[in-house]
Amino acid sequence: MLFFDISSWEPRDTEKVIEHFKKLKPPAGINVVNQWVDLNGGRYFILYEADSAEAYAEFNLPWSDICIIDSVPVMESTDFIKLMVSKGL
């Protein structure tokens, strides 16, 4: 399943976040599609696929001490339209 996460942090925690990024290695079951950084600072965007709830938790929990993570399950719009059509909606 695809997830789009928006992680935000307080400016005072920027150094801690940079240290986390240096050590970032997605666990088994996580496939990072792409990632972006807000050029204004304080936010990070990532699109990734998680094979399981366990992989999802293992990927996000290490950030919970310094970031607020808004995580949204997503799918490509063309796939969503096909799904809706197949359901008669």
Confidence of residue 71 (pLDDT cuts 50, 70, 90): very high
Average pLDDT, the chain: 94
What is the model's pLDDT at position 27?
94
At residue 89, the pLDDT reads 86
Question: What are the extents of the domains in the chain?
Answer: 2-86
- SS3 state at 22: helix
Q: Please write down the long-range contacts of 63-67, taking CB distance under 8 Å and 24 or more positions apart.
A: 63/7, 63/20, 66/9, 66/13, 66/16, 66/17, 66/20, 67/7, 67/8, 67/9, 67/13, 67/17
pLDDT confidence band for 21 (50 / 70 / 90) = confident
Which residues fall within 8 angstroms of residue 15, CB to CB, at 6 or more apart? none
**Per CATH, domain 2-86 is 1.10.357.10:** no
* Total-model pTM: 0.86
- Does residue 20 have a pLDDT over 90? no
